[in-house]
């Protein structure tokens, strides 16, 4: 049995970033940029006005006051999208926000400080030279590196990409993740219950949700009975996936067949099996494909073990494949209210905790039932508290590290 950190090193070392692909700009939201983005023009492309008002020569308004206003003849108009106009000594131009600064003008006086009579504008205040002018290149210059490859595309990035005229953009491909559910007892949605021992699947859809929300494409490969032929056939459906997840049949029972068959059918090379963690101990990991570029996770059947393994092990791998720079969820220090006790301390334990953000920092509370079959514990959890190997008790009020996988609790007021 290896430790969790050793397992993660093996996973990350064997995970490769996927190829890039071109997508339409709006579809790039949430994806990771696979090219450097340079400015095609200065922004703003020319000096322009930050206010509605009048473009003037500073010389002409110098010394202006309530009692002795400057009086200028209005000779032109400059609006956003308009032509470049001109002002000369003793004249002014109407100007609107975004309008080009007329040739000869060096200052903009906002409308509120002026009065118009016929073709004359009265200016009642001197403003510093250059007032209300947004200079050419004040945001960025042509040729500047604006966004580096590897950046996750949010709305701000979409705005910049569109401002530099990128109707399509290179991003990294999103992994296709096949989910194969195994077990004689497992029923899909809608299948009638005919025996007491049958279990309605939870893993198929909780894993689907996890995979989808981490920015990958889940594909449900079906349900296999604990029967060699059935498992082999359904494993073959995984051929076109980047990652194969199986749930169930990975422990040491007579019917735990998955690990051997992934090697027979897909040529998976198993790199580890069993990790000193709780839950999720029997997890298996391997690589396959021509260049060993595809991943296999044999995930335990117990529902909480399955979700925990996907959150802690599969998620960083998916993020790396997507080209993301930051692949781990945040870890925060939290005060563990109520403490936590356990009998054995041989494994790193991920305990399901709810979180609260108080004036004194994060407070974590462990769910009272931590078993790996307790589905409701995952409903309760915002994160996993980490109880290290060798630790049997964390006292009430002691600090623990918590992996935060849902931050909604921080919005509570």
**Given the rule CB under 6 A, which residues bind ligand MOO?**
278-281, 300, 302, 305, 372
Q: How far apart are CA 312 and CA 335, in angstroms?
A: 21
If binding is defined by CB under 6 A, does position 132 make contact with ligand LQZAQKY5? no
Q: 397: left (phi > 0), else alpha (psi -120 to 50), else beta?
A: left
Tokens coding 163: 């401002």
DSSP 43: B
Instruction: Kindly state the smallest distance separating residue 260's Cβ from ligand LQZAQKY5, in Å.
Output: 13
- Smallest gap, in angstroms, from Cβ of residue 219 to ligand LQZAQKY5? 16
186 binds ligand LQZAQKY5 (CB under 6 A): yes
178 is a contact residue toward ligand LQZAQKY5 (CB under 6 A): no
List, as one string, the DSSP characters of 56-72: E-HHHHTT--SSS-EEE
Query: What DSSP character marks residue 89?
Result: T
Residue nearest to ligand MOO (CB): 372
Which residue has the CB atom at the shortest distance from ligand LQZAQKY5? 301
152 binds ligand LQZAQKY5 (CB under 6 A): no
- Residue 4 C-beta: closest distance to ligand MOO, Å: 12
Residues 6+ apart with CB under 8 A from 243: 175, 176, 177, 178, 216, 294, 295, 296, 297, 314, 317, 318, 321
Residue length of the chain = 413
What does the alpha-carbon distance between residue 5 and residue 13 come to, in Å, rounded to a whole number? Answer: 12
Geometric angle at alpha carbon 13, from 7 and 14, rounded to 5°: 95
Residue 250 Cβ vs ligand MOO, minimum distance, rounded to whole Å: 9
Q: Is residue 210 part of the contact set for ligand LQZAQKY5 (CB under 6 A)?
A: no
Q: Least distance in Å: CB of 372 to ligand MOO?
A: 3
303 binds, among ligand MOO, ligand LQZAQKY5, none (CB under 5 to 8 A by kind): ligand LQZAQKY5
91 binds, among ligand LQZAQKY5, ligand MOO, none (CB under 5 to 8 A by kind): none
Contact region with ligand LQZAQKY5 (CB under 6 A), list: 17-25, 30-38, 68-76, 200-208: 200-208
Do the beta carbons of residue 203 and residue 306 sit within 8 Å? yes
- Which of 286, 288, 172 has its CA nearest to residue 239? 288
| Window contacting ligand LQZAQKY5 (CB under 6 A); options: 78-86, 199-207, 333-341, 377-385 | 199-207
- Binding to ligand LQZAQKY5 by residue 199, rule CB under 6 A? yes
Q: Which of residues 291-330 bind ligand LQZAQKY5 (CB under 6 A)?
A: 300-303, 305
DSSP bridge pairs for 277: 348
- Report CA-CA distances (Å) from 14 to 35, 274, 318: 23, 17, 12
Number of residues lying near ligand LQZAQKY5 (CB under 6 A): 26
Nearest distance, CB of residue 223 and ligand MOO, angstroms: 21
Binding partner of 218, given ligand LQZAQKY5, ligand MOO, none, CB within 5-8 angstroms per partner class: none
Which residue from 114, 181, 308, 312 is in contact with ligand LQZAQKY5, where contact means CB under 6 A? 181
Instruction: Note whether 286 binds ligand LQZAQKY5 by CB under 6 A.
Output: no
Of 278, 386, 394, 393, give the one whose Cα is nearest residue 333: 386
Write the DSSP string, 289-340. Answer: STTS-EEEEEE-SSHHHHHHHIIIIIHHHHHHHTT-S--SPPEEEEEEET-E
Q: Which does 178 bind (CB under 5 to 8 A by kind): ligand MOO, ligand LQZAQKY5, none?
A: none
Q: What is the smallest separation between the CB atom of 254 and ligand LQZAQKY5, expressed in angstroms? A: 10
Helix (H) or strand (E) holding 401: strand 399-404
Which residue lies nearer to ligand LQZAQKY5 by CB, 15 or 201?
201
At which residue do the structure tokens 């109707």 appear?
167
Nearest residue to 113 (alpha-carbon basis) of 60, 54, 59? 54
- Closer residue to ligand LQZAQKY5, CB minimum distance, 132 or 302: 302
202 binds, among ligand LQZAQKY5, ligand MOO, none (CB under 5 to 8 A by kind): ligand LQZAQKY5
Beta strands, E only, 141-268: 145-147, 168-172, 176-182, 186-187, 199-200, 217-224, 243-247
Min dist CB 203 to ligand MOO, Å, is 12
Binding site for ligand LQZAQKY5 (CB under 6 A): 181, 183, 185-186, 199, 201-204, 247-253, 256, 279, 281-282, 300-303, 305, 372
């Amino acid at each position: 049995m290896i430790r969790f950190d050793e397992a993660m090193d093996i996973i990350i070392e064997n995970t490769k970033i996927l190829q890039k692909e071109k997508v339409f700009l709006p579809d790039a939201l949430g994806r990771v940029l696979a090219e450097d983005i340079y400015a095609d023009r200065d922004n703003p492309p020319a000096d322009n006005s930050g206010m509605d008002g009048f473009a003037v020569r500073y010389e002409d308004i110098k010394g202006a006051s309530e009692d002795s206003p400057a009086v200028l003849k209005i000779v032109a108009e400059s609006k956003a999208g308009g032509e470049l106009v001109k002002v000369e000594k003793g004249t002014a131009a109407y100007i609107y926000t975004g309008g080009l600064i007329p040739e000869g003008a060096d200052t903009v006086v906002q409308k509120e400080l002026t009065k118009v009579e016929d073709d004359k504008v009265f200016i009642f205040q001197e403003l510093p030279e250059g007032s209300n002018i947004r200079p050419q290149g004040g945001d960025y210059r042509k040729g500047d590196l604006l966004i580096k490859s590897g950046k996750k595309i949010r709305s701000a990035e979409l705005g910049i990409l569109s401002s530099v005229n990128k109707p399509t953009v290179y991003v990294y491909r999103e992994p296709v993740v096949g989910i194969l559910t195994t077990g004689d007892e497992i029923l899909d949605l809608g299948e009638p219950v005919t025996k007491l021992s049958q279990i309605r699947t939870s893993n198929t859809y909780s894993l689907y949700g996890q995979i989808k929300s981490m920015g990958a494409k889940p594909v449900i490969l079906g349900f296999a009975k604990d029967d060699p032929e059935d498992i082999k056939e359904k494993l073959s459906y995984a051929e076109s996936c980047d990652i194969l997840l199986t749930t169930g049949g990975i422990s040491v029972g007579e019917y735990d067949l998955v690990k051997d068959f992934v090697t027979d059918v897909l040529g998976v090379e198993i790199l580890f099996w069993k990790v000193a963690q709780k839950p999720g101990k029997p997890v298996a990991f391997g690589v396959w494909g021509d260049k060993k570029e595809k991943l296999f996770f044999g995930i335990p059947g117990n529902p909480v073990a399955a979700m925990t393994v996907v959150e802690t092990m599969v998620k960083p791998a998916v993020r790396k494949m997507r080209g993301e720079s930051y692949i781990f969820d945040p870890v925060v220090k939290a005060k563990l209210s109520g403490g936590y006790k356990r009998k054995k301390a041989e494994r790193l334990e991920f305990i399901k905790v709810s979180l609260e953000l108080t004036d004194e920092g994060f407070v974590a509370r462990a769910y009272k039932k931590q078993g790996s079959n307790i589905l409701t514990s995952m409903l309760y959890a915002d994160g996993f508290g980490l109880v290290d190997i060798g630790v049997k008790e964390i006292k009430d009020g002691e600090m623990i590290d918590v992996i935060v996988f849902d931050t909604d609790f921080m919005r509570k007021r």
